[in-house]
């Protein structure tokens, strides 16, 4: 499996786990992610961008969602040696994701 897909799947597995375990009780089932990697000699050397959009309860504030997604999902699921100071993080970049 290509590395970007593998890492995107890890993010979604972590999101689902936290939702099902009620750790982040405001998470809802619909979510999507994308991971962009930089390669050198056909090996991933850095994660350049992480996009994670997740459906959520209407009461959660965007700043709280961003903090929780970063700390509880992204930092827990992705290898820290691939994250760097210039990695771009886009959490619910189009705004609220409620139904």
Average pLDDT over residues 39-46: 96
Average pLDDT of the chain?
A: 94
Distances (CA, A) of 15 to 61, 77, 81, 90: 18, 9, 21, 15
Residue 16 in this model has a pLDDT that exceeds 90: yes
What domains can be seen in the chain, in order of their start residue? 3-91 (3.30.300.10)
pLDDT band at 43 (very low <50, low <70, confident <90, very high): very high
Angle ∠(10,12,16) on CA atoms, nearest 5: 120
The secondary structure element, H or E, covering residue 94 is none
């Amino acid at each position: 499996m290509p590395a970007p897909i593998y890492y995107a799947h890890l993010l979604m597995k972590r999101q689902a786990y936290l939702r099902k375990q009620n750790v982040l009780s405001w998470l809802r089932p619909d979510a999507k992610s994308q991971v962009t990697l930089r390669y050198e000699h056909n090996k991933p050397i850095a994660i350049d961008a992480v996009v994670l959009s997740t459906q959520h309860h209407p009461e959660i504030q965007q700043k709280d969602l961003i903090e929780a997604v970063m700390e509880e999902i992204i930092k827990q699921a992705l290898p820290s040696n691939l994250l760097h100071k210039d990695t771009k993080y886009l959490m619910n970049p189009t705004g609220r994701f409620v139904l």
